[in-house]
Structure 1
């Protein structure tokens, strides 16, 4: 069971207008199947600062972000925050429609939040790092392009390198 942590001071959260729309719709659609988590997601969306997608800081958890966080039990995890149909715990893909997923959305690196697990126990998590979708792929692609450029013969090279 999830209980709202309304009494606890919650950190400021930022959500893109695109995520806000999709998450609000998700919460409304899940009210019958997952009433407690859906209600908590609605509460979080109600207190979120909604900004244009391009204005969300890179260190803020949004949908498809890869998040590294530490729990109050000193456990450290690295997960991807996804929509319910993409969730797969064996691949470290956590649904936003879980208590921990609701807790993560909109937090920035360095922020902590208290959340209530389905067993009714309260926990605290702290976001350590946030990686945005495609960031790792674009870094690898950039490194590959630089490597290829270094190994390509220059226009003024008299002969290209030969295979041994």
Structure 2
């Protein structure tokens, strides 16, 4: 079910403007949040870049609502992936500058990724459903 590349991770797809914004964001927090910055920059570097009108609808993008499962615990969560200023975990909005947020970005429904949590333990996250925001296209 999960497609892998030679890195053992599924393909990543990003919207061109989001890739630029996220690169700047990751570089800006490199000293204060080195782990997340490095993880995010690696994912951006290996991503296939799409114009906003051409990103597949089942890809996790910024402001997508995503349902995923943590395979270690079996717990399912539904969150909206947002920029740091919009984050509010109690409202289900997680920052792209969290390990989980960076790991979900660019994945497709049905794909899984082994990804480190805040403590550095690898966990398998599986994307169950993606709901795109209204982009006004």
TM-score (normalizing by structure 2): 0.91
Higher helix content, 1 or 2: 1
Higher strand content, 1 or 2: 2
1:19 aligns with 2:15: no
Partner of residue 53, structure 2: 54
Partner of residue 142, structure 1: none
TM-score (normalizing by structure 1): 0.76
Preserved contact between residue 95 and residue 101 of structure 1 (Cα < 8 Å): yes
Secondary structure of 2:26 counterpart: helix
Structure 1: give runs of 5+ residues left out of the alignment.
1-6, 136-164
Q: How many residues align?
A: 129
Structure 2: give runs of 5+ residues left out of the alignment.
1-5
Bigger radius of gyration:
1
Q: Equivalents in 1 of 2:62, 2:120: separation in Å?
A: 25
Preserved contact between residue 8 and residue 114 of structure 1 (Cα < 8 Å): no
Preserved contact between residue 84 and residue 97 of structure 1 (Cα < 8 Å): yes
Partner of residue 133, structure 2: 133
Moved over 4 A (4+): none
Q: Equivalents in 1 of 2:130, 2:21: separation in Å?
A: 21
CA RMSD in angstroms, aligned pairs only: 1.3
1:8 positional shift: 5.5
1:65 aligns with 2:64: yes
Partner of residue 3, structure 2: none
